[in-house]
Amino acid sequence: MMKFVTKRIHAFLDYPVAIALMALPFVLGLGGSGPLAFYLSLATGVAAFILTVLTDHHLGVFRVVPYKVHLMVDFLVATVFIIAPFVLSFEGIDKFYYLINGIAVLVVVSLHKPEMSV
């Protein structure tokens, strides 16, 4: 498999994804399956924004969280998003929203190009 998502590309994706996770529950009207379907995305978006600000990459502001830790968190969030619809009985748009987001994040993480040691 060709791995082409570099640390730089990933950094450029982080802020828009965090903002989307905060905005899309409002835009899409998430929460038909219950308030958790709405608030899980909102809370994850806030956490993702903070993580990005703290990550050690060129768009990080404080750069205290190692990039590898950031990738592990992304993987865990993707896993939670894929499992959540089944465990929390999300239906309709709520279910598809979490499945699509979870799969998308897993794809990005799996296509991460390892950095070369110097």
pLDDT tens string, the chain, 118 residues long: the values are 788 899 999 999 999 999 999 999 999 999 999 999 999 999 999 999 999 999 999 999 999 999 999 999 999 999 999 999 999 999 999 999 999 999 999 999 999 988 765 4
Q: Which of 54, 74, 76, 67 is nearest to 8 (CA)?
A: 67
Structure confidence at residue 116 (pLDDT): 64
* CA distance linking residue 4 with residue 108, whole number of Å: 9
Structure confidence at residue 115 (pLDDT): 76
Tokens 């903002």 locate to 19
Structure confidence at residue 73 (pLDDT): 98
pTM for this entry: 0.93
Structure confidence at residue 117 (pLDDT): 53
